[in-house]
């Protein structure tokens, strides 16, 4: 099926990024998986090649193109190459963090941060989750008490993607601990601030090339000039940006399912049992047919959602639909693909086994499947 969501320019961009992946990521991927973190040089290489800050203004070193379809291409190509865990730093940087620095910053903050973000010299992260809370952000306890021209930040965050590599961490804090949602604000904590410490690079089930860390704050003095947006508006700022984050996860999920199917089609046609290819058995054909059909359906919905996002029409509910359905699809497809690989599907030397480990987090981070259904369910009215 021809995907009309992409133009010739997007396909030329795809070829360029595919070459970048082959040159900069694939040769290093195994080493990064073993180390649990990518080299920072990956970010500067991506910046030099024009793959960071695509929608940032050209005056700050960005691409000056407000079109999420280019981000879409990056997510797909990382999945197709089987290196999504290494490339997650790029997608988080572009899809999740950059909008905060574009939409909530003053002119002075833009001049201070955007050039480094676009060049890859300043790696970004966003810190919301705390050890005692998951989806219930209003219950966070990390505090930021105003003291003159500074906030004094105390608390901690966990499960922070890019947590080790990050130079700029968008941190959700309570500037008014007596309030819930209305007491939240966003501060940018910078590498080297006294009292800002990083804990473990967490040992995860999958996504081994992606650094995921604990962060600790002890009397960190953060200048008021590092606040993003208005004090007390942090929760609303997060809500505004979550649809794009969730769509980014959904797009990567469908692409990962597509690649898992490709590996499995190849394997089942090459591998024989009882004197014939595994793909020739009726059960195998039916399972492959079901997966191929669902992936086609998923791609069509992703394309529609991306078009809505580009047109500034994507709703919170549509993003939630895309996120839960696509990530559940990814889990289901990858599991079936492992089954069709048999015992070899359980061996980490086969990419389908790594894909199985990597897929499990998809229905959890960025908003669990249950929270996504709650968002959708609350919107349904007669």
Active site residues: 245
Axis-axis angle for helices 68-80, 282-310 (nearest 10): 160
What is d(CA 250, CA 228) in angstroms, rounded to the nearest whole number?
27
Q: Which of 83, 80, 114, 115 is nearest to 98 (CA)?
A: 114
């Amino acid at each position: 099926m021809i995907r009309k969501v992409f133009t010739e320019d997007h396909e030329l961009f795809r070829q360029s990024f595919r070459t970048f992946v082959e040159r900069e990521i694939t040769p290093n991927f195994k080493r990064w998986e073993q180390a649990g973190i990518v080299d920072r040089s990956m970010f500067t290489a991506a910046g030099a090649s024009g793959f960071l800050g695509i929608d940032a203004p050209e005056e700050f070193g960005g691409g000056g193109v407000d079109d999420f379809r280019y981000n879409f291409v990056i997510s797909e190509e990382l999945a197709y190459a089987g290196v999504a865990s290494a490339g997650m730093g790029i997608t988080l940087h572009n899809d999740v963090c950059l909008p905060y620095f574009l939409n909530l910053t003053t002119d002075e903050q833009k001049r201070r941060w955007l050039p480094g973000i676009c060049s890859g010299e300043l790696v970004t992260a966003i810190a919301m989750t705390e050890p005692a809370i998951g989806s219930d952000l209003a219950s966070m306890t990390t505090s930021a008490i105003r003291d003159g021209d500074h906030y004094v930040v105390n608390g901690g965050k966990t499960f922070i993607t890019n947590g080790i590599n990050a130079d700029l961490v968008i941190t959700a804090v309570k500037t008014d601990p007596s309030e819930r949602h209305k007491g939240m604000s966003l501060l940018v904590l910078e590498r080297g601030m006294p009292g800002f410490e990083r804990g473990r690079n967490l040992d995860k089930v999958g996504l081994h090339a992606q650094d995921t860390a604990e962060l600790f704050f002890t009397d960190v003095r953060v200048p008021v000039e590092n606040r993003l947006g208005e004090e007390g508006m942090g929760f609303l700022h997060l809500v505004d940006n979550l649809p794009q984050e969730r769509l980014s996860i959904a797009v990567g999920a469908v692409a990962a399912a597509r690649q898992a199917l490709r590996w499995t089609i190849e394997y089942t046609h090459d591998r024989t049992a009882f004197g014939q290819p595994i793909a020739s058995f009726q059960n195998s054909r039916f399972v492959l047919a079901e997966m191929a059909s669902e992936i086609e359906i998923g791609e069509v919905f992703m394309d529609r959602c991306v078009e809505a996002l580009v047109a500034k029409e994507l709703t919170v509910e549509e993003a939630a639909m895309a996120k839960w359905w696509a990530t559940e699809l990814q889990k289901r497809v990858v599991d079936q693909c492992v089954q069709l690989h048999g015992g070899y599907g359980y061996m980490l030397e086969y990419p389908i086994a790594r894909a199985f480990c990597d897929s499990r987090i998809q229905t959890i981070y960025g908003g669990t499947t249950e929270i996504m259904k709650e968002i959708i369910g609350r919107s349904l009215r007669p």
